[in-house]
Structure 1
Amino acid sequence: MISVLCVDDEEELCAISSVFLTRKGFSVTTCQSGKEALDLLSKTSFDVIVSDYQMPVMNGIELLSEVRKRYGEIPFVLFTGKINDDVVIRAIEQNADYYIRKDYDPPAVFADLAFTIEKAFDRYKIEKSLHDSEEKYRFLVTHALEPILIVDLQGTLIFANNAAGKMIEVKDITDILGRNVMEFISPESREEVLRDFSEVAGGHDSYVAEYEALTAPGRPITLESIGKLIQYENKPAILLSLRDITDRKQIEKSLRKASRQINLMNSITRHDILNKVTILLGALEIAEMECNDPAILHYFNILNEATKAIQKQIEFTRLYQDLGIQEPAWLSPVSIIREMQVPEGLTLDLALEDIIIFADPMLEKVFHNLLDNSIRHGETVSHIRVSGAKAADGYVITWEDNGIGIRDEEKETIFKRGHGKNTGLGLFLVREILALTGITITETAAEGKGARFEITVPNWLYSKVTDNSNGNDTDTKLQ
């Protein structure tokens, strides 16, 4: 039941109001002055206040002002016979919820009043619920471990949580409110930030971006950011969830440097070994020509085959050492496959939609090795089909051929180093390249029905390529 406090200096009108509103299902308390109303409010809470305007000592607007100061946003209905522009303006200024005129048919007036009380109370409940919810989420966001900022559509900082203050290196988070977020972006990232800011403001949001930024004292840091268009205090704004990845990037940089140094040493060593292998193969060939003893020639053949195997394995290390040296990138499987040279007599049906996947730059080796595997081991292969489909856990790229297929007991071992009729390194290299960014490959064909390799790309590692409105660029944001 909605509790109503009716304030009117005319006792008879208070009594009539009480009867009408009680019959409508309200709990009604009456009083005859603003002072008496404030005394009652100090002792009892009410859901809605209905007050006359013209009262001695304290009129309805003055009572409204005091109620707002002391008790906040209690629904307040001005119920008066005097409604002119001045009264309306003052009522609005003091945040009155509604005003109703008394001077016409009483049954209609009180029916209107009852309806207005219910409407005012319902609106108050909704607004209070929203306010309580906002307060709850504000508390959670304020104390979240991840830095969170809210900026308006001009880039002005209007909210920052404690973690953001720590990341930006300010003691008092209010010191940065009102400043533009671009003040904390390094020059090399400003163009990218402006472009992404425009994207998010236009509703294309929730993708991961990386920027170079500056703390308040000027220390450079690297950030990951996800922007989301929201409503904040009834206005459009952008919520930014941030992560300081400076340490991670430095570690990655150090690892790449160390890997390059190791690779340089490997390149020099491999070059020297291959030179020695060439000398060895040449000497063996000369020795074979000079030797007429079949028993000795047999051992020369063994030495020759072993030396060639060493040569192939040393060549493979050149490919394997390059894995992970370069940063992963957004690459197009369709573009890679279209550029491959397919032998005569073999057809390749490309039914894969135009997507990009986040993979090691050696991704082209994956498809070249799959083609080589079909040709070498399929024996009867005349047709290859490459297709793709969305799956629950990501996107699946399928490579199928019509060759002799793979025996069930070999479906996993084919990816192990050394397995196979040639070097035994092709499919091993394929799996290693894909695994660098979390992409997997399995063989799923029924035995004797050709080979079928399924490459599963997790949801966050692929995106469809869509044309922008100018028709010249492509959109490479995560979906």
Structure 2
Amino acid sequence: MSEHSDEQPDWNAQRDRIIGLGETSYRKSYFPELQQRIRDLEKMNKELRAAYEQQTSTEAKLRHQIEENAEKEKEIRKSEERYRTLVDITQTGYLVVDMKGFVIDANDVYVQLTGRKSLDDLIGRPVSEWISPHDEERNRQAEEALLSTGYVRGLEIDYTHPDGTLQPVEINATVFRSESGDVILTLCRDITERRRRNVALQQARNKLTLLNAVTFQDIQTAAFSLAAYQELAKHVVADPKIHKYLDKQQVFLKKIVDTLDFSRNYQEMGIHPPRWQNIQQVFLFAISHLDFLNIRQDLHVDNLEVFADPLLEKVLTNIMQNVISHGVHATAVRLAYTEGNEGLRLTIEDNGVGIPIEEKNMIFDRGYGKGSGLGLFLVREVLSITGMTISENGTPGQGTRFVITVPRGAYRFTP
């Protein structure tokens, strides 16, 4: 039995002996190549291990991302279900179309608004198919605005059902942009009842306007007739005391006529939509109703337009009437404007006696003044419809200076 040795074998020496290192064998010539191959294999093994670890890490990240996406999709699905439920509860039509106007999705309420039987009748069809012919141009303009601004609000158009029935709807649409592609989200509401109420309200308003017009005309005619008889009575009766009473009656009659005129104008205020109006043209129309031959006009508002109620002419008429009635020795009126941070300031000033400081804050109150006390009150009310304000900051003894402040967006300059 051989004696056991605690010495470890020299493995490197054994490897060298096996591959022929130190020998003159033909195998000796393969050693450098084998050594290089070993190094290559070790390098490759290291790269494979690094790639494996990277792949393992990437797979873990992907699994985590997939799980997160799944949770997000679940939340989105729940949110969409809640949103759809909310929309359905409010009887609002929900529609999704692509950027060319073809239907992608819709809820049952919208299907009913179009008069179709199911969603299958809408999917892949252009919305223009059920828009009434008389609203095609308005819808086209709304589509252009939607693509330009990204949204459309309060568009009222009619849908046509397959049986020819008209369905009035209100549309609010928004462009929703995402990586998967842009779509248009639309909410539609049935406004049949609203339109019926509006028609009934307009009919009632027309009747009331007609009644007021007849009443105003009858009272005004009676007032003019009474004024004529008073003049005749002055020629018949020579008593100065009776003349004094007749003069007072004429003052009250004029106040009645002025009040009727104010009531008619106040009734018309806000009924017709505001429009763009050239200040110089409106001013010239306004003074055409007054005796303005002896008052010089200095106008510097050639290209200025403001967005105002159609009663803007009445506004300038009342201001100019104030110049004639209370300006005493006014001989000139000047119109000009300046721009500032708050918008545009239109100034109307004269060279009369002006307004006392203690009265400046009261002249626009109803009932204040030497006449009916309604002229400048109407001026303030008409201007406020489109967000304009008016004040007076002239110097007493040198003339009045009315300043109309026009907010940005409510004025423009024409070429």
Where does residue 451 of structure 1 map in the other structure?
A: 401
CA contact (8 A) 1:215 1:221 kept: yes
Q: Whose radius of gyration is greater, 1 or 2?
A: 2
What are the ranges of 5 or more consecutive residues in structure 2 without an aligned counterpart? 1-42
**Aligned 1:46-445 pairs, distance under 5 A:** 46-48=60-62, 138=80, 142=84, 143-144=86-87, 147-160=93-106, 164=110, 176-201=122-147, 203-206=148-151, 208=153, 210-214=155-159, 220-231=166-177, 234-242=180-188, 244-326=190-272, 328-334=273-279, 337=282, 340=285, 343=292, 344-350=295-301, 354=305, 357=307, 359-374=308-323, 376-377=325-326, 380=330, 382-387=333-338, 391=342, 398-401=346-349, 403=351, 406-407=355-356, 409-435=358-384, 437=385, 439-443=387-391, 445=393
Note if 1:28 corresponds to 2:56. Answer: yes
CA distance change for structure 1 residues 207 and 281 in 2, over 3 Å: closer, same or farther?
Answer: same
CA deviations on 1:176-225 (whole Å, 9 max, x unpaired) are: 33222123322211112123323433x24545463321275765344444
Q: Distance in 2 between matches of 1:157 and 1:360?
A: 41
What TM-score, normalized by structure 1, do the two folds share?
0.59
1:424 alignment partner AA: G
1:346 alignment partner AA: Q
Equivalent position SS for 1:289: helix
CA deviations on 1:227-255 (whole Å, 9 max, x unpaired) are: 44443563344444545544444333322
Deviation at 1:407, TM superposition (A): 4.8
Deviation at 1:390, TM superposition (A): 6.2
Equivalent position SS for 1:424: coil
CA distance change for structure 1 residues 319 and 412 in 2, over 3 Å: closer, same or farther?
Answer: same
Where does residue 14 of structure 2 map in the other structure?
A: none
Deviation at 1:333, TM superposition (A): 4.6
Equivalent position SS for 2:211: helix
CA contact (8 A) 2:150 2:175 kept: yes
CA distance change for structure 1 residues 308 and 339 in 2, over 3 Å: closer, same or farther?
Answer: closer
CA contact (8 A) 1:418 1:425 kept: yes
| Paired positions, count | 359
Identity percentage over the alignment? 25
CA contact (8 A) 1:417 1:425 kept: yes
Q: Distance in 1 between matches of 2:413 and 2:70?
A: 45
CA contact (8 A) 2:96 2:104 kept: yes
Deviation at 1:306, TM superposition (A): 1.7
CA distance change for structure 1 residues 284 and 338 in 2, over 3 Å: closer, same or farther?
Answer: closer
Equivalent position SS for 1:213: strand
CA contact (8 A) 1:141 1:148 kept: no
CA distance change for structure 1 residues 396 and 169 in 2, over 3 Å: closer, same or farther?
Answer: farther
Deviation at 1:308, TM superposition (A): 2.6
CA contact (8 A) 2:142 2:152 kept: no
CA contact (8 A) 1:347 1:383 kept: yes
CA distance change for structure 1 residues 188 and 272 in 2, over 3 Å: closer, same or farther?
Answer: same
RMSD of the TM alignment (CA)?
4.5
2:401 alignment partner AA: A
**Aligned 1:10-21 pairs, distance under 5 A:** 16-20=47-51
CA distance change for structure 1 residues 208 and 396 in 2, over 3 Å: closer, same or farther?
Answer: farther
Q: Distance in 1 between matches of 2:76 and 2:382?
A: 47
CA deviations on 1:1-26 (whole Å, 9 max, x unpaired) are: xxxxxxxxxxx98985344564xxx5
Equivalent position SS for 1:47: helix
CA contact (8 A) 2:280 2:302 kept: no
CA distance change for structure 1 residues 19 and 322 in 2, over 3 Å: closer, same or farther?
Answer: closer
Deviation at 1:258, TM superposition (A): 1.5
CA deviations on 1:434-467 (whole Å, 9 max, x unpaired) are: 45x46342416376584343345586xx486899
CA distance change for structure 1 residues 416 and 258 in 2, over 3 Å: closer, same or farther?
Answer: farther
Deviation at 1:396, TM superposition (A): 5.0
Q: Distance in 2 between matches of 1:221 and 1:299?
A: 65
1:432 alignment partner AA: E
CA deviations on 1:234-292 (whole Å, 9 max, x unpaired) are: 33444445455444443333222212212222222222222322332222222222222
1:255 alignment partner AA: L
Deviation at 1:332, TM superposition (A): 3.1
Q: Distance in 2 between matches of 1:315 and 1:188?
A: 40
CA distance change for structure 1 residues 335 and 223 in 2, over 3 Å: closer, same or farther?
Answer: farther
Higher relative contact order (CA 8 A, sep 6+): 2
Deviation at 1:347, TM superposition (A): 0.9
